[in-house]
Structure 1
């Protein structure tokens, strides 16, 4: 990932917040120089610098046969930035850009097919997301029909050994531009634009 120094983010608490916002990951593996890509809900856990991610594929997914090196991407909010919002737009001949937050994690995938691991992943994912939609479906391991469904999936555990995060929030602009852009984004109808504004405003508060 192209990462100018101004946009590099090192605080893993920012990663925690990014995944808490949206725990849907892009999983990339490469076999015979050909990338395979999956998009999956995952379970995230961090203990200090140790990051562990669990999830599962449908068994026919070819990536289920790809233990070993992998990259996971978590996409945060993103928003268009109009050059008309900059206070120095004329003298600096400003151009459009895009602000966003994203994290790339490199590491190793381990695959699992045992019932205990698969049941835990399905159960934990359902507990996490059923509450978010006001429902209460639960995986019931005592039910044969629930257990039989596990034959259709392969689980994984990903242990990160490198994390690169890019928080592109107009840090390369003077304060007047940053404040103006954040204010304009906060007034936009898109939720993601308002989320970027909140990230920018939090950075400005931290600077003070």
Structure 2
């Protein structure tokens, strides 16, 4: 990933926040020289620099047989930035851009079909998202009709070796520009725009 120095993020707490906001990742493996791409919800765990993702595929998914090297993309918020928002737009001949936060995680996939481990993933994911949806469905391991569904999935653990974060938030602009862009984004209807504004505010230095 292209990362100018101004946009490099090294604090893994920023990755924690991205996953907390949206744990629906893009998972990429390579077979026969071609990328294989899937989009999956995951469970996230970090202990210092040690990071692990857990999730599952439908068993017929070809990627379910792709243990080994992989890349996961964690998608953060993103927003269009109009050059008309910059106070110095005429003097500097500013052009449009896009602000965003994203993480690329490189590591190794380990697959499994252990029933108890699969049940734990389904249960934890459902608890997490049922709570957000305002409901309370639970995976019930003691029910045969629930347990038999586990035969249709393959689980994975993704052991992360390298976490590369990019937070492109107008850090290469004067403070007045950053403040003006954040002001405009806070007024937009999209949640992503307002989230980008919040990230910009949090990362604006106290001095220009």
**TM-score band, normalised by shorter chain:** over 0.9
The reply on whether 1:122 has 2:122 as its aligned counterpart is yes
Match of 2:134 in 1: 134
Secondary structure of the corresponding residue to residue 28 of structure 1? strand
> What aligned pairs does 1:15-26 form with structure 2 within 5 A after superposition?
15-26=15-26
Deviation above 2 Å: which 4+ runs of structure 1? none
Q: Which residue number in structure 2 is paired with residue 184 of structure 1?
A: 184
Q: CA deviation at 1:111?
A: 0.1
Q: Deviations over 1:113-155 (max 9, x none)?
A: 1101111110111111111111111111111111100000000
2: CA distance, partners of 1:155 / 1:73:
18
- SS for the counterpart of 2:92 is coil
Deviation at 1:183, TM superposition (A): 0.7
Structure 2 Cα separation of the partners of residues 33 and 171 of structure 1: 37
TM-aligned CA deviation for residue 207 of structure 1? 3.6
**Where does the alignment leave 5 or more consecutive residues of structure 2 unmatched?**
none
TM-score (norm 1): 0.98
Q: How many equivalent pairs are there?
A: 207
1:52 CA displacement: 0.6
> Counterparts in 2 of 1:57-206, with a 5 A limit?
57-204=57-204
Distance (whole Å) between structure 2 residues aligned to residue 164 and residue 128 of structure 1? 26
* Aligned equivalent of 2:3: 3
When normalised by structure 2's length, the TM-score is 0.98
* 1:37-75 CA distance string (max 9 Å, x none): 010000000000000100000001000000000000011
Structure 1: gaps (5+ residues)? none
Supply the distance in 1 between the matched residues of 2:142 and 2:38 (Cα, whole angstroms). 30
Report the CA distance between 1:163 and its aligned residue.
Answer: 0.6
Deviation for aligned residue 1:187: 1.1
